[in-house]
A and B are shown apart, each in its own frame.
Chain A
Amino acid sequence: MNQPQPKSLLDVAYFLGMVAVALFLLSPVLWLVSASFQGPGEIFKVPFHWIPERLSLDNYMHAWEVGYVGQALRNSVIVSVIMLFFHLFFNTISGYVIVKYSFEFKAALIIFILATMMLPQEITFLPVFNVVKSLGLVNSWLGLAVPFFFSGFGVFMMMQFARAIPDEILESARIDGCSEYRIFFQMALPLLKPAIAALGIMAFSFIWNEFAWANIVVLSDQMRTLPLTLTLLAKSSDNSVKISALIPASVTAMAPVMLLFFIFQRQFVASVASSGVKG
């Protein structure tokens, strides 16, 4: 909208100042990544070496041996995939059906679902433990994911986006003889892709970091997810040996989300901005 203006020296200084602020805020992350690649003992050198003297993977090997990080990584990936699949599918198709079909007690159903957004989910975990136990899912991947298959927020968000689908498209597919299910999968689903991506980003960063429920439902060492393993390592990290396992384990836990963030930065920011500007 504006003409590109020539950049003055002041603008450059302003930019550099803001880069410094951003680096300061990011310094714990930079410290963590740098420390994870340092050789034994180098982490505690004063002053801290922001660029490692030599790149070493010793800490990572140590973390894999002492902390069982590989196993935790596998569990976290499996649980996240299960959760994402059901969370995205269920919330999307429910939000779509609620908005696009007419049926009795629709308003009541919407209140029934959205009211659960008021409930802090953590307080339900005590009884939910019994539910999951009677389903035989305690200490299993499915059990770790099952309380998060639906969420009031997920249905609400997909309802908002499904509303924007023009009825004419669905109606014309109907006249062409498409089944209701095909209309959803072939017409509605592609149009809902951006919304599914936004919900997927939020859901993934939630489940990847989920601690409270995992801490309850996991009973054996083999089922631990990354947040549990990290917490366990952190609780016993009073000596330098444990710290040097803890740091690469943390980088491992952070890396997938960070990687996704760098690829889908725009969608990430948009998903947060859209969560904030709600009706």
Chain B
Amino acid sequence: MPDPTTTTTEAPVTDPTSATPGLHLDVRGSTPGGATVFDVRDTSVYYGDFRAVRDVNLTVKQHQITAFIGPSGCGKSTMLRCFNRMNDLIDTARVEGQISYHGVDLYDPAVNPVEVRRRIGMVFQKPNPFPKSIYENVAYGPKVAGAKGDMDEIVERALRGAALWDEVKDRLKESGMSLSGGQQQRLCIARAIATDPEVLLMDEPCSALDPIATGRIEDLMLEIKQQFTIIIVTHNMQQAARVSDRTAFFTTEVNEESDHRTGMLVEFAETDKIFSNPDDERTENYVTGRFG
């Protein structure tokens, strides 16, 4: 089993074009800006008998940044991993309800999860470059996916897209591990966008970075949202307020009998509203730091 903390390009790749013809996922450009990319309906995620998150309903719009916030254990990362079927890699995980991607049921048995992960890339909390050269880190995914065309161009485009090209263009053969933490995270973003995905899932991408590196990643997110649709999980509420268009606030509810905590979506709205005048008192208490 691949390391689930790596980017999508490390997922077990078979034939990325093997999805059933009727369930083509390559729909970028087929919908106008602001169109719905994901439509989540009554979705719950279980690990065995334990329901980790329940009854989520939300939509993710194209070329927007959608932030998931909430206390630890509220199910926001679990929910994020549903969007590229990363939970498939956990034997006991089960998703109920429906998650549509441009109208296609992501969990339809006919949909190839590898193709899903190529379309929907992921960047993780801790930068995790391969112990290979900067060039190889970026080229790996496109090579495995059988990309046609000039690989040098693909690598340069991805590194430029991740605002890293100018810093590394003269040392592409050096190890990716030699870069600073912030550069490593941008290398991981370059790696994720090298396979030309439509969506980027980011799971606390700045939590291991200093404020300057965090600022660069945030600037980058705002630049690349013209090309991608981004969903970010963050504990940094100012980050959510700074970069996202819409914000979903999750919290936990405790079952008194079993003491199990189940995550749930409390409120989903324009980010301005969530941070200025949320409808739900639980959201207000969380964003103002009253309850954790």
A complexed with B: no
Q: Which residues of B contact A (CB under 8 A)?
A: none
